Amino acid sequence: MYENIKATAAWLRERMPSRPTTAIILGTGLGRLAEEIEITLAIDYKDIPHFPVSTVEGHSGRLLLGKLGDKEILAMQGRFHFYEGYSMKEVTFPVRVMYELGIKTLFVSNAAGGMNPSFKIGDLMVITDHINFFPEHPLHGKNFPTGPRFPDMHEAYDKELIAMADAIAAEKGVPLQHGVYVGTQGPTFETPAEYRMYRILGGDTVGMSTVPEVIVARHCGIRVFGISVVTDLGGFDVPVEVSHEDVQKAADAVQPVMADIMREMINRN
């Protein structure tokens, strides 16, 4: 696997006209942030050696290089999920490649269900911590030489980047929630009882991504900022049915606000 990672990075390096140190992973309904990028290179995942291919509706499946504002970035337009049948090594393969390409800071976004009673659909929640409910750990197996066997996770989400997001949001008059993201394997949405359980355990939002990517990024020493768009609510008195289409619609509605904050953060980083 490590040899494949290095080979993929070398293949991309030959084609990249610049060497960005910032990357962003655009999740469900959030891939449209790519429209903000002045693209200099776009490669379909299927054309990248050893890369998995996204199978989820709403995930475009392209690796983008270009400028967001004044900053050169690398962006994944669509990500990979454990529920698609990939191993955790495959899910986090792109993050390993990012490290080999010199990425120092990673911005991750996702659509998530909210179970904090103070949240509403369309809220943006800065991820301050996470709870890992995936049945397979992304660092399981032989340790990669990019980090220690037992990496510390006391600050998985960078406090300086969180403070920056808060300052930018305040300048723009945008309210931001803060909280803990619960990562689960999916692909079913949560039952009302599961929502209540995750809330009791300390979760504020729940989704099917992000946590494996963040763990591997931190193992590599990459700084991380994460943000969730609250696209549905659960665990309250009245159960609400949710569909993937509902999630995409809610994420699309708040896209301009999130793009504004992300763009400014990346430019200031």
Window from 40-49, 54-63, 142-151, 212-221 with minimum mean pLDDT = 54-63
In the predicted model, is pLDDT for residue 59 greater than 70? no
Give the pLDDT of residue 6.
Answer: 92
Contacts for 81 with CB less than 8 Å, ≥ 6 apart:
56, 91, 186, 187, 208, 209
Whole-number average pLDDT of the chain: 87
3-state secondary structure of 183: strand
Q: Which residue has the tokens 């900022």?
A: 225
Q: Which residue has the higher pLDDT, 231 or 66?
A: 66
In the predicted model, is pLDDT for residue 85 greater than 90? no
Q: In this predicted model, what pLDDT tens digit does every residue of 3-35 receive, in sequence order?
A: 899 999 999 999 998 899 999 998 765 666 778
Which domains does the chain carry?
Answer: 2-268 (3.40.50.1580)
Rounded CA separation 2/89 (Å): 10
In the predicted model, is pLDDT for residue 180 greater than 60? yes
Average pLDDT over residues 125-145: 93
Cβ–Cβ < 8 Å for 230, 113: yes
